[in-house]
Structure 1
Amino acid sequence: MQMQGQIAVITGGAQGIGFAVAQGLAEKGVTVVSWDIDAGNAEAMASLPVPGVAVMCNVADMASVTAAYEQTCAGTGVPTILINSAGITGPNATLEDYDPEAWCRVIDLNLNGTFYTNKVCVPGMKERGYGRILNIASIAGKEGNPNASAYSASKAGVIGLTKSLGKELAGMDIAVNCVTPAAARTRIFDQMSQEHIDYMLSKIPRGRFLELSEAAAMIVWAVSPENSFTTGAVFDLSGGRATY
């Protein structure tokens, strides 16, 4: 995969799947720019095989995303790769008990944040006639997890957004895809009840959680030049859980 010299933006690149993907891309000579509010963002980027760039960005805020894009273009260059990894689960509660403010936070970060980052990055890709976008959804967006209505709805929205944008850009060499991972052991588990974690594990036929390296391998391929045909697609990373 000839990716050396490309610039990739990863939201939530300081840890979890985002950082695993950052490592995989850096190993191929890609310059990674992590848009994150995590205090460890700069340290994480400095540790990559090709040192990356940390940019403070709240993806739930359009003004912050626009500023991050302008800073990236001015300091590093125009990104031709975008991976949306930033996300939160929100509380575990039934829909009737779900706090409306918590609902809005989940939708703002997971779905609106994906819209904002896709929106600012697409024009530069169109100007160059090349781009790769990978939005991280979730198996919850396909199946719906009980006691996680906001998270499930937000990730279903990411799938729909990806399919729509993929069709809009299908006439260009710009691929827009998403992945639907089962749960992986990251800090996002800190936001869940143990009961919910046990539920998720019980639904995975493989009988284990997703490894970060497994997610990174698929995502790095999806944003590479080798993925020259597939767009508007959903790549399953559910360990056999997905039924469609």
Structure 2
Amino acid sequence: MLDTLIQYESDLIKTSEDEVSMTEIQRKQNVRSGLCCISDKAFHFFQELDKVIRKLETVENVTLYGKSFYDFITSRVLLNETLNQQWSQIFNTEDDEYFAVHVHKLKEEIVSKYVLMSSAQFRREFKQKVKARKEEAHKKQIQMRRDSKVKSSEAQVSSSSQQSQLSKDRSDYSSTSEQQESLHKLVKRKAVKKKTGKGKGKRSKKTKWPCGRCQEDCVVDSVCCDMCDTWHHYECIGLLGDEQEL
């Protein structure tokens, strides 16, 4: 029965419809011509067998049937009507029931071995894909953790910068408030002296807050320089007195 599947290479070169396959056989054939050639009908049967098996070898079926995956595919393939017809045409079993039984058993054995080989290959490829997906997911998790750490560091730097700027603003505001309070006290003392008449008609020997330009005492409409700690009249340094810098 197995010899029925085989055909001599010299005959196939003349009769085969698949010239590409024959060219491939000639290329791979060694000096002793050890490669076994099958007939076109047998070749078409195995082509269809491979298509049917590939359609059944899916991730869904592996998940659904688990360890029974091989038995599931084998039973479905043996019940395929197209494959049964092609197999019967190879042996022409229409007139011999006894011979048909043995041909069917041969088909079961061949299909069983072919499915075993194909499903084992599919399982290997499936495991490789699952492993690759796990590795990819692990890499993404590591990258997400790194990105999270970078964002956290940037947030800390930004927060520190904001706190530093806030402390500086508070310090500047405190310094300005102290200067304004000092100037207010000075004006108040001058007003009290003027009201009570103390010091009237007397010229001060030494000016307490001399203007850096005119050397006159800076009582009102004045500002102290933060750099040199010297007081100046607004008019002497060209200020109006309502600038934000003050």
TM range (shorter): under 0.3
Query: Which one has a larger percent strand, Structure 1 or Structure 2?
Result: 1
Query: Which one has a larger percent helix, Structure 1 or Structure 2?
Result: 2
Larger Rg: 2
Q: TM-score, normalised by structure 1?
A: 0.18
Q: TM-score, normalised by structure 2?
A: 0.18
Larger RCO (CA within 8 A; separation ≥ 6) = 1
